[in-house]
Amino acid sequence: MICLNLVWIITVYNILVTGSNGQLGSEIRALSSDYSYNFFFTDRESLDITNSDTVKNLIEKNNINTIINCAAYTAVDKAESDEENADKINHLAVKNFAEIAKEKDIKLIHISTDYVFDGKNFKPYTEDDTTNPNGVYGDTKLKGEKAFLHGSPKNSIIIRTSWVYSSFGANFVKTMLRLGKEKESLGVIFDQVGTPTYARDLAKAILDILPNIKNEKPEIYNYSNEGVLSWYDFAKEIMRMAKLDCQINPIETYEYPTPAQRPHYSLLNKAKIKKEFGISIPFWKDSLDECLKTMGERK
């Protein structure tokens, strides 16, 4: 008679979440009680992510085995005149995380952006398409990606996303709601096309796929909600759902000049993340509806 002793190995995920007061970090915090993970939420006041020793100390003290890096310098226009700080957060801090993750065999999830592309494509961008950022923000985010890939930590991924909004923080949806209550009409750009991303959908996707991230070298994935629209279309739907009597008028990009150039086309192909992790992605209107309900603005 042969006796087999079965040993169940259960992974306890001790997760460091950086940028926890931002849109994505706040959504992960809001969902955290739904998952049997141990979370350690940090922000710029509690953790200097540009200081490698400080990060290592926190990781060792709390036995961190997973990092979700939501921290980013996202002031796109300000970055044009503040390249040093944008580079520290979007590039050098990511380099630190990649090196630490490899050294300590830590799972690392890093959030990047559609701004690594120039927006001149004619079909949704895949993860392998040529990058060519237009400004400092996109350039520093791309440098962060390259440092991540060069660091080559196992079980680690980059997720590129676009047009992020949430019930937390400052974003396009909140701006439209505020202006829609103050003004009779607004001009909104119609010649920039992409897809918004409800940060709660992205947060849920990250937490769902986390146990299944198993790769020898870093991988890049795209994630946004499903569908295609312009900022004008987005604004029109926000006003309709919130029942705000504000006329939205289409304008061209040149009529609203900004220090940083935006990509005119930033649709992301999500086939890779859906196939490899078996996830479904909500349609953008459904997610906007959910967000407005959360905010108490859905009428």
Residues designated as active site:
137
Whether 171 contacts 31, CB under 8 Å: no
To the nearest 10 degrees (0 to 180), the angle between helices 231-242 and 172-182 is: 60
CA 185/CA 214 separation, integer angstroms = 50
Q: Strand 229-230 and strand 193-194: pairing?
A: antiparallel
Strand ranges inside 45-202, DSSP E: 66-69, 107-113, 156-161, 164-165, 185-189, 193-194, 197-198
Report yes or no: 261 and 135 within 8 Å, Cβ to Cβ.
yes
Tokens standing for residue 196? 């918004």
How many other β-carbons are positioned within 10 Å of the β-carbon of residue 253? 15
Whether the CA torsion 196, 95, 119, 278 is positive or negative: it is negative
Give the separation between CA 177 and CA 238, rounded to whole angstroms. 7
Q: What percent of the chain is helix, strand and coil (3-state, nearest 5)?
A: 40, 20, 40
β-strands 107-113, 66-69: how paired?
A: parallel
263: its two tokens: 């990509």
